[in-house]
Amino acid sequence: MRARASWRIHGAALLGVAAVALLAGAPRAPGEAARSLATVARCEMDGVVDTGSGNYLADCVERAEAEGHGALLVRLDTPGGSLEATRDIVRAFLASRVPVLVWVGPSGAHAGSAGVFVTLASNLAAMAPGTNIGAAHPVVGIGGQDPEEAGGRQLARKVENDAVAFVESIARQRGRNEKWAASAVRDSASVPAERARELRVVEHVASSEEDFLAWADGRGVEVAGGDTVRLATRDARVVDLAPSLSQRVVHALAHPSVVYLLFMVAALGLVAELSHPGALVPGLIGLVALVLALVASSALPVRAGALALLLVGAGLIVAELFVTSGLLGAAGVVLLALGGIFLVDRFDPGWFVDRSFHLTWTWVVPTTVVLAGAAAYVAYRGAQTRRLPQQAGDAGLVGEQGTALAAVGSENGEVFVHGERWRATSPTPIRPGAHVVVRRVDGLTLFVDEVKT
């Protein structure tokens, strides 16, 4: 009886273990499994849409696909940028097999000019309260003249029509408001978040990325290839995708204020090097800054004339070191200021940027004043140095004192000056060991007098 009871107990235990194993291995509900495994890749687009940021967003799409993320979330805040880079981003978004979600935020951010194209190319888009989207019409110059005035009617119409066709095709493919998209280009239409949702420019207004992901959860979107993907973004693990070093550097340099500051540093470094030859460090810094400024300007819509003004202005400041009249330095400072003001060419047909993309007086004036003060100080110290007695060469020996090593007469003699032995003569005889002072130098012969004590 005891043996039979023992077998029953062991049998019950084995059945319990088997039941637990079966429950653990049982498949979960589809929604629960998707949420437990869901991850969302995340990247940020801050500032100008340039080569660096364009490559970064395109890479984000590729990495999100390769790593098997459930979606790609892009936080957007841009004044616009390069049309070529924008086309690369749009092409990557439309060809993505991973749903792309764009959130314009946080509050105070905007999707301006080229940012309109990027937002419309997403599968789902949301905006934070206090943000706006639009104003994709090309402008030019400091006053923001119409392109027709700056480049002619035919060129303006060609640029505008091409941009309208581009933005309408994006809106049509994503099922968004084509009419408003065209007006953003033709009429610089710009709307806040709530109005953008009403006009079907974006799908939602969300105060944070988490709210956007929670709202998007369970929605189906069509990706490249015609497949429909059901999003599982609520409580998903967010994986940040960082840009590469080269992408960071290119993006950091692609701003007018950075280009202008680099030119200022280059000018000041060259001034410091030429006023103190052999220092090397200021000259090296100035040369590196000049190279970076030229590289950055090649990635921006800048006027060649403005670059010429900056280079000539820096050259005049350097020339001031050798003239010290004050006029060349003042002219150089004025040219640097003008070069900064006219630096950005916002009529470049390869760029779509809003009016905020330029160098303002509040940036140009203080920077120029600081450079002018620094250059004036360096020039002043250089002038002081040139007025000092020469300390090297033959002229540097005049006035120096030494000791007579042998009797010095009108024909010959020997003295010790500056740690060296010299042939010397004197109109009056000088005894050995006497202190002498150099009055004149002729080749390798010193003309000395005895120092009376």
Q: Comparing 307 with 175, which gets the higher pLDDT? A: 175
Nearest CA-CA partner of 265 in 185, 328, 356, 336 = 336
Establish whether the linkage from the previous residue to 106 is cis, with ω within 30° of 0: yes
pTM for the structure as a whole: 0.65
Pick from 71-85, 139-153, 210-224: least confident: 139-153
Greatest mean pLDDT among 87-91, 283-287, 297-301, 305-309 = 87-91
pLDDT tens digit sequence for 94-149: 999 999 999 999 999 999 988 999 999 999 999 999 999 998 765 443 333 444 44
What local confidence, expressed as pLDDT, does residue 5 receive?
A: 42
The structure tokens listed for 297 are: 């300007």
d(CA 13, CA 52): 64
Percent of the chain with pLDDT over 70: 75
CA distances 127 to 43, 98, 113, 352, 363, Å, are 16, 21, 16, 21, 30
* pLDDT surpasses 80 at 447: yes
Segment 141-198, tens digit of pLDDT: 333 344 444 445 666 677 788 889 999 999 999 999 999 999 999 888 999 999 999 9
Task: Over range 19-23, report the average pLDDT.
Answer: 37
Contact 312, 304 (CB under 8 A): no
Work out whether the CA dihedral 425, 430, 434, 435 comes out positive or negative: negative
Q: What is the pLDDT of residue 190?
A: 94
Quote the pLDDT of residue 384.
60
* pLDDT over 90 (residue 84): no
Q: How many CA atoms lie within 13 Å of 56's alpha carbon, on the beta-carbon side?
A: 28
User: At 240, which helix (H) or strand (E)?
Assistant: strand 237-240
Task: Give the integer Cα–Cα distance in Å for 129 and 127.
Answer: 7
For position 24, what pLDDT does the model report? 40
Q: Which one is predicted more confidently, 12 or 116?
A: 116
Could you report the per-residue pLDDT of 193-211, keeping only the tens digit for each? 999 999 999 999 999 999 9
- State the pairing for strand pair 420-425/445-450: parallel
For residue 129, what pLDDT is reported?
Answer: 97
Is the Cβ–Cβ distance between 122 and 101 less than 8 Å? yes
